[in-house]
Structure 1
Amino acid sequence: MLIRSRVPLRISFGGGGTDVSPYCERRGGVVMNATIDRYATVSLSPLVDKTIEIESIDYDAALKYDVDQFLAYDGHLDLIKGVVNFMRKAYNVSHGFRLRIHNDAPPGSGLGSSSAVCVAVVGAFRHWLNLPMTPYEVAEMAYQIERHELGIKGGRQDQYAAAFGGFNFIEFNGTKTIVNPLRLRNDVVCELNHRLILAYVGGSHDSSKILSSQIKDMASGNEETLKSLDRAKELAIAMKAALLTDNLDDFGLLLDEAWESKKRFTAGITTPKIDAIYEKAKSAGALGGKVSGAGGGGFMFFFAKPDKRYAITKALQDEGVQTVNYSFTDMGLYSWEVR
């Protein structure tokens, strides 16, 4: 038997950062995001012998352990090891197995790829062990593994986006999370897909480093950080209203304001290169846009005026920026068997 588990990556439109502690416990956070047809995929094969094999297709890396051996965290595929250690302890897994992992985007891309892998691995174990876990429980388990088992700094939106899929307005109140799916008209989704240009600006970001700085600023009561996060939350609420009422130009302008607010969260979110690319896109007809993720690099997206998509695409390509074809997807975590 072979089990496959797949989850989508996500674009974060607004509110990112308000899902990070201690802000969400103290003031409540909201995030507006959507998943796209880029995926993290995990294949799990039970083995007859007492070994654990982990293989990353993307990193061309392979590890092998005894089934009763603790998988030490040493910087090599630690995210996968964290899930394995957690699941074996929680569910007394004594069988051998092989895990193969592939991701359509690398860590640091800004598309929530690391958390997507974590959710996909949890999903593979859920299927194999026949665990009665809801998408909420899968997402929360992945969050606990990343933040507490491994000590990786970050928020909560990526795990929930991957587990649920689709356009979601997600509320974070302390440790309670509520996912509100947005039932958008097909016309709106198709037009949004056409006018939103996804682009890889190069490099990657160290989200843990950026978020550690943001967390420090929040905890110390930095007024500019708190005001910017409060404003990001307001803008996410306004973005939801704009999409539900078919006001796409308003949505694009809100993205521009959200990016200006995000840059004030903490240092390292933008760079001179990112600023230059953003201004070039706006000069070519973008209403707004932002980095998708903590910042510093990876993927950005730009919202075009109705007739400016191709001018913006050319301007970005002239800057050496790679644009990426994509579509939105409503499917979250899904697993199946191959026999």
Structure 2
Amino acid sequence: MEIFRARAPLRISFAGGGTDVNPFASMYGGFVLNATINKYAYTSIALNSSESITVNSYDFDTTTEFCSSTLKTDNNNDCFVKSVYKHLVSKPLGMEVITHNDAPPGSGLGSSSAMMVSIISAFKELENLVMSPYDIARLAHDIERQELQQLGGMQDQYAAAFGGFNFMEFDGDSVLVNRLKMDPWVVRELEYNMILVYTQKSRLSSNIIEDQISNVKSKKTDNIAAMHQIKQHANDMKRLLLKGRTNEFGELLHEAWEQKKRMADSITNEHLDELYEAARRAGAIGGKVSGAGGGGFMMFYCENNKKRQVVETLERMGARVESFKFELDGVESWRNIRKEQLIRERLNVAV
């Protein structure tokens, strides 16, 4: 039996998140600075001789089943796997699909879009298709935002597809990904001084994004001014990283968080504010919520040798500190072939 697998990295967003969401991106253009980490969304596809497609989601503890022979004419797009199958699979195939994620739903690490990118990449491997990171990210975005009508921006799909440190430019639906060539010591310095913290509170990002969209459509001056400011922060933080000025980068994280909170009232809450202020008192230079806000993961950049104090403070408050490293590669796919099948294929190539 041949098994097709893929994994796509999750991301943390340093600055600019929200400016990649339309209508702001169409009206003003957006900048986002983000980086992927060594937490992943996984997809595994095992073909079988049945006429059904069974999807097991470990994250939601659900199993759903579809008929492969009628799926192309099914107008009910209610599932990531079903939507990708319709786009990429050329003929009816029976299979079992397993999906799981290293982060819980509502984490703020772009896990939903990373899962979509992972599923697309696994089916790409199955169908032996040639797709660039731009192709994969674009299809992921179109399925999520247009076909499934899930609110959100564009950065998550492109981060998962490309991987690494990226400065992204958005102009309407047009996306340009600028890979940052970071000095290795800068990456290690960030890993040494940064903390990733799960607040133990998930959130529904669509509600927060609805507030942001409403504020832009209503042309609320203060909210839009804040979004322009975080665009500038994304550009400034990119320059600081490229120059290795990591402490100043940490300081701008704080300023970016202060501006992000002005984008919508639902971005922060009393619990997040308490965690943030306690971390700052313990020695964090700056930090912010990763993603839309409201909960999920927070990140902090600490002063030299203050990381331990910050960790102990946050853990006493009930938060869970997660170890992580930066992932410099994007989505990957591969196939697991039984040994005897691999031998046969090699013999055929030799002949």
- Distance in 1, matches of 2:282 and 2:88, equals 54
SS at match of 2:223: helix
> Partner residue of 2:186?
188
Per-residue deviation, residues 115-158 of structure 1 (Å, max 9, x unmatched): 11111001111111122211001001000110011101000000
Q: Would you say the 8 A contact 1:41–1:120 is kept in 2?
A: yes
> Partner residue of 2:233?
235
> Partner residue of 1:322?
320
Q: Would you say the 8 A contact 1:82–1:149 is kept in 2?
A: no
- Distance in 1, matches of 2:197 and 2:130, equals 38
Normalization by structure 2: what TM-score? 0.92
Greater Cα shift, 144-153 or 50-59: 50-59
Change (3 A) 1:164 1:89: closer
- Distance in 2, matches of 1:277 and 1:27, equals 33
Runs of 5+ consecutive residues of structure 1 not aligned to the other structure? none
SS at match of 1:268: helix
Task: State the one-letter code of the partner of 1:14.
Answer: A
Per-residue deviation, residues 242-281 of structure 1 (Å, max 9, x unmatched): 1011111110010000000000001210010100110000
- Distance in 2, matches of 1:52 and 1:321, equals 39
- Distance in 2, matches of 1:182 and 1:269, equals 28
Per-residue deviation, residues 209-268 of structure 1 (Å, max 9, x unmatched): 100111011111111111000000000000001101111111001000000000000121
Could you tell me how far 1:321 is from its partner in structure 2? 1.1
Q: Would you say the 8 A contact 1:65–1:71 is kept in 2?
A: no
- Distance in 2, matches of 1:283 and 1:215, equals 34
Per-residue deviation, residues 287-308 of structure 1 (Å, max 9, x unmatched): 1000001000010011100121
- Distance in 2, matches of 1:130 and 1:246, equals 41
> Partner residue of 1:85?
83
% same residue: 43
Could you tell me how far 1:47 is from its partner in structure 2? 2.1
Q: Would you say the 8 A contact 1:71–1:85 is kept in 2?
A: no
Q: Would you say the 8 A contact 2:29–2:169 is kept in 1?
A: yes
Asked if residue 172 in structure 1 is aligned to residue 170 in structure 2, the reply is: yes
Change (3 A) 1:217 1:263: same
Per-residue deviation, residues 167-194 of structure 1 (Å, max 9, x unmatched): 1101111221111111111110001001
- Distance in 1, matches of 2:273 and 2:317, equals 12
> Partner residue of 2:5?
4
Per-residue deviation, residues 69-93 of structure 1 (Å, max 9, x unmatched): 43745xxxx4xx2442353256543
Q: Would you say the 8 A contact 1:12–1:33 is kept in 2?
A: yes
> Partner residue of 1:56?
57
> Partner residue of 2:24?
23
Asked if residue 198 in structure 1 is aligned to residue 196 in structure 2, the reply is: yes
Change (3 A) 1:287 1:127: same
Alignment of 1:274-293 (within 5 A): 274-293=272-291
> Partner residue of 1:33?
34
Task: State the one-letter code of the partner of 1:13.
Answer: F
Task: State the one-letter code of the partner of 2:322.
Answer: V
Q: Would you say the 8 A contact 1:15–1:236 is kept in 2?
A: yes
Greater Cα shift, 199-208 or 58-67: 58-67
> Partner residue of 2:344?
none
Change (3 A) 1:83 1:22: farther
- Distance in 1, matches of 2:46 and 2:217, equals 44
- Distance in 1, matches of 2:57 and 2:75, equals 16
Task: State the one-letter code of the partner of 1:23.
Answer: F
Larger Rg: 2
Task: State the one-letter code of the partner of 1:156.
Answer: M
Per-residue deviation, residues 196-216 of structure 1 (Å, max 9, x unmatched): 100011111111110011101
Task: State the one-letter code of the partner of 2:133.
Answer: P
Alignment length (residue pairs): 333
Task: State the one-letter code of the partner of 1:183.
Answer: K
Q: Would you say the 8 A contact 2:32–2:231 is kept in 1?
A: yes
Normalization by structure 1: what TM-score? 0.96
Task: State the one-letter code of the partner of 1:50.
Answer: E
Q: Would you say the 8 A contact 2:8–2:332 is kept in 1?
A: yes
- Distance in 1, matches of 2:173 and 2:82, equals 24
- Distance in 2, matches of 1:64 and 1:175, equals 33
> Partner residue of 1:215?
213
Could you tell me how far 1:60 is from its partner in structure 2? 2.3
- Distance in 1, matches of 2:316 and 2:228, equals 36
SS at match of 1:170: strand
- Distance in 1, matches of 2:50 and 2:43, equals 20
> Partner residue of 2:150?
152
> Partner residue of 2:45?
44
Runs of 5+ consecutive residues of structure 2 not aligned to the other structure? 338-351
> Partner residue of 1:332?
330
RMSD: 1.3
